[in-house]
Structure 1
Amino acid sequence: MPVAAGHLRYPKVRALLPRTRLAYVHLQNLLTDAKRDRAARVFGYVAIWLPEEFLVLYMEEGDVVNATATADGRRWRALPISEALAMVPSAAEYGEICFHEAEDEQLAAMFATQLSPDLGWPAELPIGSSSAMLGNLMATLFDGLLEVTVDGGVNYIVFQHGMPLRGYYADDTVVHDQSRVRTLLDQALRNGGSARRWGVPPVLPNQAAPALIVAYRDLVSTLVRRLHESGAESAFVVAEHARHHLIAQHPALERFSLSIPNQRDPVVDAQSLSAAIAAWLGETLWHLHLPEGITAERLLADVARSRRHLFQAAGLFDALPWTIPW
């Protein structure tokens, strides 16, 4: 792993698992304990340093809700949760891991700064001057986020009306005040660090859980198979045509081919995924001549019954064009 990614450190409220060798930790057990143990059901992140990549698993109340990865500490990508977990070997010889509690605002800041472009600085501003940078933020009544990276430590300062309101610091001995922000900026500018700014970050997005994605795959394949067995021989062709037709509107459907096994999961939230699946089911059933005695409502009720509560919580039934009779 490049030095930049290997030395990244993020702020924390407390260390539930200090940085340690991955060989000593079973990730799945760690995540299971985090969900089961009330004291560990916190907002936070699991950082994993692999030989070729650095992963961040975002946690909310003990659940993994999102994941990102970088090979160089600069270019990040969002990962499906299932793919991120699969990247971590169960008996890793190399690598390190930590589990830190963190404020939800900090998690939103981490995710936004990793995956969205920064605002940049005015071209005429002398970037090597902390006074000029802070002066610009004050003069423009800046509302948003300043990320300052020093020696691998990533720090976040929230600004309101051009003034630093609060901060999250990789060095947890730091006391937040305006002079500390200036000192941190000076250190970054002197030592090859960086200072970038963003607008107010949105709330940390939650991906659809891997279990929900699996359930939706099973739902659609079961429905198509049931239709075919009932005499609708074109069910597979119609369903695939409907999926292709809807991909532009619902990109998550690109990862739901009925003919390609073991596809990667999409990076999508539960609401968007439910809307995509509902649109796919609706398009398929509207354009398919159903066998005699079969209605769309009854068929959907039959194939969805065993996971009814999961689909209900995800909003599937609200997005369907039919009322399902239970």
Structure 2
Amino acid sequence: MRASSACLLQSTVRLHDIVFPATGYLLRRTRLAFVDIANLISFAQRSRDGKVDAYFAGYLPEEVVLLFFHQGTLVNAATLGPVAREILPIDEAVRRLKAAGERGEGLYATADAAQLAMMYGASAGPAELRFVNPSDPAEMFPALMDERYSGVLEFISGGRVNYLQFDEGQFTGGYLCDRAEDVSVPSYLEAMFTPLADDSLPAIAGTLLHPPSTVPTQALPSQLRMYREVVERLVDAVNAELNDEGTRRAHKSIDDVIALHPEATYLRLEAAADPGSLAIAANALTQALTAWVTDLLQGVEIVLPTSAPGLLREATRDHRHVLHGAGFYDTLPWTIDW
């Protein structure tokens, strides 16, 4: 397979050259044609050896697709490309990997959960591209010290991706790609700027980011469908009690909570987006549903005092076990007696 010349967003780093830090390899880089993605996901879920924090990197002609695993469970996905770095719906990420079997490569590696969160955060944003002076790229580090920067610097040199943590401008640790144990961190970083055999500098890119503490679990399409069903049932129940006022009140409640919970827009009854085409964090979706239900039923109780528990019980009865597991009932201002 001929190596792609596509470069990472706003950089000269070739996507084909990108290598992430790893604590070990479950599958060394090989052609995707030799990798059964469905079997790999099944192995991660069922095998004791697969129940680890890990990532799968798929090198496609125009992008690198990442799958994130937490203790063997596929929880999220992302893409790195020439025009965007973004989170992908898991189904779409798997589809792209399967479709590129003859034109791509892939590897499966273990990594610390904190590193996976940094890899995820670099695509989830907000991230800030850091200008690297080609004539003096090393000046970036003193500049971060002067700025008293706190956060993570994703630093790529010659394809090797490194994640450096800073607190008030001081380097506190991180994850370095392929650093030998007998090489000090300063020596390793200094080598990142060493000219190549032809005296040219390696392709370098820097990005500042503030990643989450862990990779969030992406909502399954079935979860979003279930939440929309709960919304529909609750609206029907309010309509029955308030002479078809439920639909109007439901729209108003979504508008009320959407600033703090933008995921609420996907709960609208008229939402046309296919659940399989959306990349939404499961906990954020649950929080949006809880906020919407609370806003809606607090308004209803002004007219029908103490009605909320009964309306909720009937609207969520069929899905109460799944909703309980998701933490839906935990922060509601009412107690539901079953």
**Fold in common (TM above 0.5):** yes
| Counterpart position of 1:274 | 286
Q: Deviations over 1:17-68 (max 9, x none)?
A: 2223333333233223212212111112121233443221222111233322
Please say if 1:318 is aligned against 2:327.
Answer: no
User: Residue type of the partner of 2:54?
Assistant: G
In the alignment, which of 246, 255, 264 is matched to residue 235 of structure 1?
246
Please say if 1:303 is aligned against 2:327.
Answer: no
Contact 1:5 1:54 in 2 (8 A): yes
**CA shift in 2, pair 1:112/1:90, >3 Å:** closer
Secondary structure class of the residue paired with 1:196: strand
Structure 1 vs Structure 2 CA RMSD? 3.8
TM-score of the superposed pair, with normalisation by structure 2: 0.76
In the alignment, which of 183, 195, 208 is matched to residue 191 of structure 2?
183
User: Residue type of the partner of 1:152?
Assistant: G
| Counterpart position of 2:118 | 109
Please say if 1:156 is aligned against 2:163.
Answer: yes
Contact 1:41 1:62 in 2 (8 A): yes
In the alignment, which of 238, 253, 261 is matched to residue 250 of structure 1?
261
Q: How many residues align?
A: 321
Q: Find the aligned partners of 1:136 and 1:261 in 2 and give their Cα distance.
A: 47
User: Residue type of the partner of 1:70?
Assistant: L
Q: Find the aligned partners of 1:75 and 1:220 in 2 and give their Cα distance.
A: 34
Q: Find the aligned partners of 2:284 and 2:174 in 1 and give their Cα distance.
A: 33
TM-score of the superposed pair, with normalisation by structure 1: 0.78
User: Residue type of the partner of 2:311?
Assistant: L
Q: Find the aligned partners of 1:216 and 1:304 in 2 and give their Cα distance.
A: 9
Q: Find the aligned partners of 2:150 and 2:296 in 1 and give their Cα distance.
A: 47
Please say if 1:209 is aligned against 2:216.
Answer: no
Q: Find the aligned partners of 1:162 and 1:138 in 2 and give their Cα distance.
A: 6
| Counterpart position of 1:196 | 206
Contact 2:89 2:278 in 1 (8 A): yes
Secondary structure class of the residue paired with 1:319: coil
Contact 1:81 1:207 in 2 (8 A): no
**CA shift in 2, pair 1:134/1:258, >3 Å:** closer
**CA shift in 2, pair 1:252/1:231, >3 Å:** same
**CA shift in 2, pair 1:126/1:299, >3 Å:** closer
Task: Pick which of 10-19 and 160-169 moved more.
Answer: 160-169
Q: Deviations over 1:129-149 (max 9, x none)?
A: 366455556677766544332
Contact 1:46 1:56 in 2 (8 A): yes
- For residues 127-166 of structure 1, what are the structure 2 equivalents within 5 Å? 128-129=135-136, 132-134=139-141, 144-158=151-165, 162=170, 165=173
- For residues 21-170 of structure 1, what are the structure 2 equivalents within 5 Å? 21-72=31-82, 75-89=84-98, 92-114=101-123, 115-118=125-128, 120=130, 128-129=135-136, 132-134=139-141, 144-158=151-165, 162=170, 165=173, 167-169=175-177
Secondary structure class of the residue paired with 1:279: helix
**CA shift in 2, pair 1:62/1:317, >3 Å:** same
Q: Find the aligned partners of 1:132 and 1:109 in 2 and give their Cα distance.
A: 23
Q: Find the aligned partners of 2:256 and 2:146 in 1 and give their Cα distance.
A: 50
Q: CA deviation at 1:258?
A: 0.9
User: Residue type of the partner of 1:71?
Assistant: G
Contact 1:208 1:273 in 2 (8 A): no
Task: Pick which of 195-204 and 150-159 moved more.
Answer: 195-204
**CA shift in 2, pair 1:284/1:83, >3 Å:** farther
User: Residue type of the partner of 1:243?
Assistant: I
**CA shift in 2, pair 1:27/1:179, >3 Å:** same
Q: Find the aligned partners of 2:19 and 2:85 in 1 and give their Cα distance.
A: 15
Q: Find the aligned partners of 1:229 and 1:258 in 2 and give their Cα distance.
A: 17
